[in-house]
Amino acid sequence: NPYILATLLFGLGLGTTITFASSHWLLAWMGLEINTLAIIPLMAQHHHPRAVEATTKYFLTQATAAAMLLFASTTNAWLTGQWDIQQMSHPFPLTLITLALALKIGLAPMHTWLPEVLQGLDLTTGLVLSTWQKLAPFALLLQIQNVNPTILVTLGLASTLVGGWGGLNQTQLRKVLAYSSIAHLGWMILILQYSPSLTLLALLTYFVMTFSTFLVFKLNKSTSINALAISWTKAPILTSLTPLVLLSLGGLPPLTGFMPKWLILQELAKQDLALLATLAALSALLSLYFYLRISYAMTLTMSPNNLTGVTPWRFSSPQLTLPLAIATTATISLL
């Protein structure tokens, strides 16, 4: 029903906006709660057992994270008498809030719900979950001052490594995208202390790249690497562009995805964190491997197919093609 859909989308926007606009922890928590409640019906709309399971898992993790956040901010108010987000000073609630937000966006080691949840959703809701749902917790992470840098660096490094190792093992595209999301978030968290503007840049480029990847898979109606192998006959032009999109996600020059990684490594080196930069760069190689594997399945192998007679040259959904064209162009050539 379009009215219900409009209401839910409005709720999504409202929750994020409230969190953006708040300087009081209670209001920020309310925004996150509205956000979670608005996306849950969108996730369960197909009434497939897998979708319901994913929705339940998502609800439980988000509720846990929100409860942690509320508990930590109340503790902070109790210890310091402050509800202001930017005035956090006590280390205990600071650490707890950082961990709660990490659980909300799915940073390692609190990442295990993300691949499971994403695998149960359709690609459109999965896209919303991978992009829009990250905005509100990120706004809070950016506003918290004086967190212990060790915590953020540990979370970031763990996420890049887990996102690399975890994705190697997958054949389901949505799980691959989930691990890719974890790895990218790790990069953003690594640099959060030293250069928040770089974190935002990485977040924006990640949104653009993920948007085009999800749209490509949606147009191909493919959810596993095997299904991608026969996409050549469905949409030849699209299929020849996809490897560039995937390699951009992996961070190869001269594509867009290289830019945030390059700048983040440079900033880490400036901060005398050469070892950290090296480890992050090596973990990017892991991600690159599974993007290459998908590209290989799509374009460099001729799979047996019996679709020769029924090549649908025109896309079935014209309203997707313009956003796809814009997103793909941005993903490939923004550098």
What are the tens digits of pLDDT across the range 49-95? Answer: 999 999 999 999 999 999 999 999 999 999 999 999 998 989 999 99
Whole-number percent of the chain with pLDDT over 90: 81
User: Across the chain, what does the average pLDDT equal?
Assistant: 93
pLDDT at 307 over 80: no
pLDDT at 180 over 60: yes
Residues contacting 237, CB < 8 A, separation 6+: none
What is the residue-wise DSSP string for 103-140?
Answer: HHHT-TTS-THHHHHHHTS-HHHHHHHHTHHHHHHHHH
Judged by DSSP in three states, 224 sits in: strand
How far from each other are the two terminal CA atoms of the chain, in whole angstroms?
41
Compute the distance between CA of residue 132 and CA of residue 13 in angstroms, rounded to an integer: 9
pLDDT at 46 over 80: yes
Q: Where are the alpha helices (DSSP H) in the chain?
A: 2-21, 25-43, 49-80, 91-105, 113-119, 123-130, 132-143, 149-168, 173-192, 196-220, 225-229, 231-234, 236-250, 258-270, 274-295, 318-333
- Residue from 311, 333, 128, 286 nearest 218 by CA: 128
pLDDT at 170 over 90: yes
